[in-house]
Chain A
Amino acid sequence: MSQASLRIQKISGHEGSVSGAGMARDVEEKHVCKMVDTTTCIGCKACEIACQEWNDLPFASTSFENTHQTMANTDWNFWNLIRFNEHTNEDGKLMWLMRKDQCMHCAEPGCLEACPADGAIVQYSNGIVDFQSENCIGCGYCISGCPFNIPKFHPATHKVHKCTLCSDRVAQNLEPACIKACPTGCLHFGTKDDMLFQANQRAKQLRDDYAESKGLYGFAKAGVYDPPGVGGTSVIYVLHDATNPELYGGLPKDPHIPWTVKLWKHPLKWVGNVAIVGGLVGIFVHYLRYGPKPEPKEEPKGGH
């Protein structure tokens, strides 16, 4: 599987070094990246189907909410969802905002940070964050660690699942299934550097169009979504309005690993370990210094 051909750089719940890290040549592997240009997405959902087909996922039942959206959320067996929002501009124009929602493959993954199980979540040196089900213990901490609401629990197997960025395909130099299926070319795949370059160019084009056409077309606030709070992501968006990502089905404006997760995994763990060891040492020292209490003596009768 994927582990055989991709190098691992981060492991969840893992003490010590990452085996094999620094061993191979050209470890400076290029990060891969998906670029999603929301301005050219037509909401055809070919990427949804391609994802289901490639990953052999059993079909999830869809729901009809009088919108274009297939279901309310991604699920353990539905990793790629087109989010649909009707939005009215300030000038009264109606817009359909489509966003391909899936795991963002953060450079600093909150799921991996929160996970207590050794090797249940790994990050490959190309940036893909992948769940290893055989090591997953089903605790659900990744659900709390993720700022994007991505990991989904399988109620029968008690394992958590999400988009793999087709790590199996990428390992064989293939593009992810969703990218391959996209008919409009709104999905691109390549190195992070290339995708960022392309995304920024596209955003600039939209802004320039707006300026040149005096607002007839193009988008004044077009920009690229690559949130720095999680170290950047391996899925980046070109948005019509980069100042308001929340419009696109709740894309967080400034996502971070939740501070309670950070507090728990770093300062609290150290304070706790020192306190536990200190407490144990303390009682031993107490025993050596003061020892047990003397046997209670029989009191002389007659009281006070």
Chain B
Amino acid sequence: MLRYNFSERVMHCFAAFSYIYCLLTGLAFWSPSLFWIAVLLGGGSTSRMLHPWVGLVYAASVIYMLSIWKKDMLITDLDRRWTKFIGAYVRNEEEEALPEHAVRSFQQFAPVDRFNLGQKYLFWLLFWGGIVLLLTGIVLWFSEYIPWSLRFLRLASVILHPIAFLITLGGFIIHVYMGTAVERGSFNSVIHGYVSETWARHYHRLWVDRIIGNANSKK
């Protein structure tokens, strides 16, 4: 079944590639030991010139992402139920963690809609991180136009930009790891858009019920 439609996949690619470019050039400016990355990517001046423009692409994609996923990303009471199982989820022990008599599957006890709580947290982290990076990035982009009397803007941006970078990077590393290595099938879904119904039922039961329910009611 279709999990991500074409525009969602295109948007995800824009976000991914722009984030990775900004991450690589940003790492070059972050530490002298990594300045060679900027050299590989066309030199320090080129990296400095492109980094903010590509950053705008990232900001635009997360803002678009908010506009299409906002409803799916709101945190619900069921999600709070799911938090009890986060430890088990991380250890891949969703099934064992349940009291035997309660339910057969983790998904039945705390069913997940289109996105689970972890995905929602990640989304909000990358969204708000992106907004902080955007605002501080604009200040740093135009440092020379910030008047001396408003220099606190520059001085705040100098520290907030790398903090937001580190926080989003944490989310990004976990996201890429989960999406490629842990949950088999999810990487395919952001490229081709489709997941198996079994997969969907396992990870996103409510969503499946909703989609299939809709499809049935349309018939």
Contacts and interface: CB of A to CB of B under 8 A. Distances in A.
A144 B91 CA distance: 45
B155 A258 contact: yes
B143 A141 contact: yes
Interface stretch (A63-71, A175-183, A274-282): A274-282
A268 B165 CA distance: 11
Contacts of A260: 155-156, 158-159
B29 A293 contact: no
Given A152-B144, A260-B156, A261-B158, A296 B199 contact: yes
How many residues of A sit at the interface, in one of the four size bands?
Answer: 35 or more
B193 interface: no
Nearest to B95: A294
A269 B31 contact: yes
Interface in A253-304: 258, 260-261, 263-264, 268-269, 272-273, 275-276, 279-280, 283, 286-287, 290-299, 304
How many residues of B sit at the interface, in one of the four size bands?
Answer: 35 or more
Contacts of A299: 105, 198, 201
A295 B103 CA distance: 19
A269 B30 contact: yes
Interface of A: 13-15, 114, 116-118, 135-141, 143-144, 149, 152-153, 155, 158, 250, 258, 260-261, 263-264, 268-269, 272-273, 275-276, 279-280, 283, 286-287, 290-299, 304
28 contacts: A15-B32, A136-B45, A137-B38, A137-B43, A137-B44, A137-B45, A137-B48, A138-B45, A139-B140, A140-B140, A141-B143, A143-B143, A149-B148, A158-B45, A158-B48, A261-B159, A264-B162, A272-B30, A275-B166, A283-B177, A286-B90, A286-B177, A287-B181, A290-B91, A292-B182, A296-B203, A299-B105, A304-B108
